[in-house]
Chain A
Amino acid sequence: MSQTVTATRVLSYLEDGKTLRSWLLTTDHKRIAILYALSITVFFFIGGTAAALIRYNLVTPQGALPSAETYNRLFTMHGVIMVWFFLVPAAPVTIGNFIIPLMIGARDLAFPKINLMSWYLFMAGGACALYALFAGGVDTGWTFYAPLSSNYAQGHVVAVVAGIFISGFSTIATGLNFVVTIHRLRAPGLTWYRLPVFIWSFYATSVIFLLATPVLAITLILLSFERIFHVGVFDPRIGGDPLLFQHMFWFYSHPAVYIMVLPGMGIVSQIIPCFSRKELFGYKFVVWCSVAIAVIGFFVWGHHMFVSGQSPYASIVFSLLSYFVAVPSAIKVFNWLGTMHKGRIHFNAPMIYALGFVGLFTSGGLTGLFLAALAADVHLHDTYFVIAHFHFIMVGGMVSAYFAALHFWWPKITGRMYPETIARGAALLMFLGFNFTFLPQYILGYLGMPRRYHSYPPEFQVLNVLSSAGASILAVAYVLPLFYLGWSLFRGERAPRNPWRATGLEWTTDSPPITRNFLVVPTVTSGPYDYADPHTKLADV
């Protein structure tokens, strides 16, 4: 073959280097996103296995698992892995890493090597946490309250805490990368108010990464000191205060839930306009609501502590602020509905998942109103009502949004179409299985079943069995995409540039994109949701 033939086609990022080394030492944001996606999926299924065993245990009142200790370790690891090794990173490091540069017309993130380092840090943290798991686990709950976790718990607390600490560096690096990228690498003409809500949401998420994660870091260091040396600032025996731990812990962990959900809101803000063929209703409101959620979210942490012994005056303030933080979310829901109004709606799998997000997030969010009401929380705190509330938002909402994103951008990421019918079926199955699993838990909580119980009074059995039955349906819904998405990699129809005829610069690139994303950096002249204009380039597929 002649060696002077110039390629008529620039290589896609998937073809550009086929060795393991080219993947493990890549600085291409798209490849790093794939590396992350693989890791995240593994963690999701480890955490999911823990969940399956939890629901299995709860089928009988005495607990079906052999020991309480096993159960306690299972729910702790479920929480730790799902929070820090799935939900906090998932959408930002997979979808965010892949899509943000494409969506703003950049050729890569601001700091590609730091991006790669963040993946290795994530893996190191995960390795620490998994070591602790397989060496026998931890049984403090994912919230690690002192003095239980510092002075009384058996198990590998410091190893898990170290894993979380290390992964925190990974998230800070990612947040830093995103903020600088969004500020400095936007294509010409792409002003702030022309940015898709997706970008605003990931920007807000990144700011929370930067400001909240360090507080968790110092809290974990102080906790580890107390655990290792048996003396610490949370120790009431020397005049310290366990409530200081709770304040510091929740100062991070409440904004953390907005880290988890804001990307989902950004994702559905792209999908709903696309499949309604209509611009996003109230763009500026949705933008500033995202910012408002991030800001107000820093001031509500005390609503986790209404019965903790915290001052009642502080509790009252936190309750009021918690109601305030719910308002921007409500506004967004109305805006998404307004987008559908008078649209031309298509029900592809991404849209079904996105609508599932809207419904389940709204349900979960409304139950947040219950918990923000002080006197109601006195009854409901630390019961299954709380578990149902956050699973509705995190799992019903955010996991649906994550799957929505995976399906929406799958053609772009892999160059293949997924099989639509089975995908829609999986989406509906997920919605069904989810409700079946978690709706009974609201009732269980009201009736008084506390959290973190390996055994329970027999009158709670029927609802527990219902919930566990739902969980088995949910498990199927999660496993299905593994199969058909995997299948599509080999046998899926080749994807055109813009199969959904969506707006957004990422859809102007090849599917999959070339390594440097754009041969020519585009110039932007229109708003982010220009579906109404028949002369847009959307006609090209």
Chain B
Amino acid sequence: MKSHLPLIVTFLLSICVATGCSSGTKQAVVETAPATYQPTPESPPADRLHSVAAPKLSEVEEAVKRVFKDVAVIHPDYKSSFLTGDFNGDLSQDLAVVLKPVPEKLADMNEEHPRWLLRDPRVPHNPREPLHVEKDEVLLAVIHGYGNNDWRDPEATQTFLLKNVVGSGMRVQNGTEFVKNFRSEKKPRPQGDLIGETLKGNEGYLYYNAATYSWYDPKTFKGEAETPGVFHGRSARR
């Protein structure tokens, strides 16, 4: 037994040394605290909208071609076929332009996943009843601005293609002034500028809110549509 004593002592010491060494790896690691983080500036300067030049026909044609390629063109029967304003309220100038489909390309306009969002602002959007563009239909395309060049930017392609909203006397109504001055108990809450016009004899406004364009007729407006899934019926979506 005496002769085994050094062996036993060495073995026990070895375990102690080895265990002591490895215990360091079991110490709790604490996650690094957040370092000060500088996000990328992304908001355009507030005065950008004041320096936007008037649109030229060639620029409008280029924007239409960028989105619609050869399936739709500027409607030749409308003298004032385009307007600019910040319709979606993102401080970038947007373009609204009256279009007609190219008859031979009607099938392309009605493909399942086009490069735009087809909507009828006068009726609630129902995805189960997809809309279609008809031959010779008069459409209003709103191309949202992006980047340094607003709707002229090569990347400005987010587009709503609107049915049944091209009337007469189309003009831009400043959104802030509309909210401030329009005296009505029930009025919509536009995110940006509105398009005022006379549609089928009724004066009204086209406006953007809750990710879509809607039609506001002051005589018949009863509040904005109910949001699906809301707990209890508040009349407004935003």
The answer to whether A and B come from one shared complex is no
Q: Which residues of B contact A (CB under 8 A)?
A: none
Q: Which residues of A contact B (CB under 8 A)?
A: none
